Amino acid sequence: MIPFNKPHLTGKEAHYMYQAVFAGKLSGNGDFTKKCQAFFEQRYGIKKALLTTSGTDALEMCAMLCNLKPGDEVIVPSYTFVSTALAFLREGANVVFADSMDMNPNMDVDKLEALITSHTKVIVPVHYAGVACDMDKIMALADKYHLLVVEDAAQALDAYYKGCPLGTIGHLGAISFHETKNVTAGGEGGLLLVNDERFIRRAEIIWEKGTNRAEFFRGEVNKYGWVDMGSSFLPAEINAAFLWAQLENLEDIQAKRTKLWNTYYERLKPLADKGCFQLPDMPDYATNNAHMFYLVFSDFEKRTAFIQYMKEHDILTVFHYLPLHSSAYYADKHDGRKLPQCDRYADCLVRLPMYYDLSITEVDIICKTIEKYLVKEK
Ligand SMILES: *Cc1c(COP(=O)(O)O)cnc(C)c1O
């Protein structure tokens, strides 16, 4: 059976975790945490990156930093993981769901302005499959209406928009190191990117349970106290140690995934040209971090039959999000607008196996099986 995902080990994870354990400081914000944070601050040219226990936690920190009041509105796509909306709902905001585009599942930026009201405070673009949303247009709207932009870059590690790393363009950004993402912190982990320097001090405080410990450890204050709200968002050192082993091999990881992605694309493009399915579309302004490879069928029945056929041939392919706007918890929080593109991706999109240890031979087997399925269907 070819699985859908398999976490990759670079080889040094256990070694660095061993080092962390015997360094005698197990809690957060130790040497490995600082190394990982400095890695991103240097690579992305930003002042503050903070490791978190998950991408969800990084989004929750973003939501807290936005300082929302009940009745404030936050625009999120409906076709996304629940944390994109949940983080803001927990802060008392109302979520307003945006539909996806025709060309890819990202929010339709050209229809965004119509969703902005006098209560709107934040726009949360999700870079689906690591493919950039059109950030210039989003930032221009944010400027015009004095809104904050929080990038859900959970899937977008090391993907770029016009040369800028995703997660560093909005005021705040969140990346995930869950085991299903390109790089993992040992199963769960995340990163908050603080791009607007106004948020740095408060981000450090919220990260450490509402204390000003970070300032205390830097010797900037002579005792630390309880100064704000917050939670325990920092991961333990063994998670940071695991992540460090992966970051040291980031180029290799991305290169291998890109090779797999390109092989899929070259093999399946002729079938897409014949109208069998839609392939991921890369806008000119986006780079590809090869997070995911997906097909979009013309209807739900075709996708269901495809998943079944592939499973019978020992290949696991999976559909993705159910629309948030019609889900059990969010339906009564939605204003009732129809979101047809979101529904289409929910019904018709299927993801193919994509992980570092997948071989080109296996990609070949998967593509051959897809070809056989399409012949049978005719
Ligand atoms: C994975 C993911 C998250 C959540 O990240 P976790 O680290 O699993 O908490 C949020 N948003 C999107 C779009 C994701 O893909």
Identify whether the C-beta of residue 168 lies closer than 8 Å to the C-beta of residue 196.
Answer: no
What's the CATH code, domain 250-377?
A: 3.90.1150.10
Residue nearest to atom 14 of ligand 1 (CA): 154
* Matching CATH number, 13-247, of 3.10.105.10, 3.20.20.10, 3.40.640.10, 3.40.50.1100: 3.40.640.10
pLDDT digits (tens, 9 = 90+) for 183-218: 999 999 999 999 999 999 999 999 999 999 989 988
The span from the CA of 53 to the CA of 234, in Å, is 6
Q: pLDDT digit string (tens) for 260-315?
A: 999 999 999 999 999 999 999 899 999 999 999 999 999 999 999 999 999 999 99
Q: How many angstroms is it from 226 CA to the middle of ligand 1? A: 30
pLDDT at 377 over 90: no
Predicted pLDDT at 217? 87
Ligand 1 centroid vs 55 CA: distance in angstroms? Answer: 5
Q: Is the CB of 239 under 6 A from ligand 1?
A: no
pLDDT recorded at residue 144? 98
Q: Does any ligand 1 atom lie closer than 6 A to the CB of residue 178? A: yes
Residue with tokens 């944070």: 37
Atom nearest to 188 CA in ligand 1: 7
Identify the residue whose C-alpha is closest to ligand 1 atom 5. 55
pLDDT tens track for 318-332: 999 999 999 999 999
Q: Is 56 in the pocket of ligand 1 (CB under 6 A)?
A: yes
Q: What is the pLDDT of residue 260?
A: 98
Q: Is the CB of 80 under 6 A from ligand 1?
A: yes
Cα separation, 234 vs 163, in Å, equals 29
Domain-wise residue ranges, the chain = 13-247, 250-377
Per-residue model confidence as pLDDT tens digits over 97-111:
999 999 999 999 999
pLDDT over 80 (residue 13): yes
Ligand 1 atom closest to 80 (CA): 13
Tokens of 85: 């909306």
Output the six-digit token pair for 277. 């399915």
Nearest to 294 by CA among 306, 312, 309: 306
Report CA(3)–ligand 1 centroid distance (Å). Answer: 20
Q: What is the pLDDT of residues 48-81, one digit of tens each?
A: 999 999 999 999 999 999 999 999 999 999 999 9
* pLDDT at res. 376: 82
Q: Which pLDDT belongs to residue 227? A: 94
Residues with Cβ within 8 Å of 88's Cβ and at least 6 positions away in sequence, in order, are 63, 66, 68, 74, 76, 95, 122, 124
Give one DSSP letter per residue of 187-256, joined into a string.
S--EEEEE-SGGGHHHHHHHHBTTB-HHHHHTTSSSS--B-S---B-PPPHHHHHHHHHHHTTHHHHHHH
CA distance 261 to 290: 6
Query: Is 154 a pocket residue for ligand 1 (Cβ < 6 Å)?
Result: yes
How far is the centre of ligand 1, averaged over its atoms, from the C-alpha of 180 (Å)?
A: 9
For residue 253, give the nearest of 357, 128, 367 by alpha carbon: 357
| 70 CA distance to ligand 1 middle (Å) | 25
Instruction: Report pLDDT digits (tens) over 76-100.
Output: 999 999 999 999 999 999 999 999 9
Torsion sign across C-alpha atoms 327, 333, 338, 344: negative
Query: Is 29 close to ligand 1, i.e. is its CB under 6 Å away?
Result: no
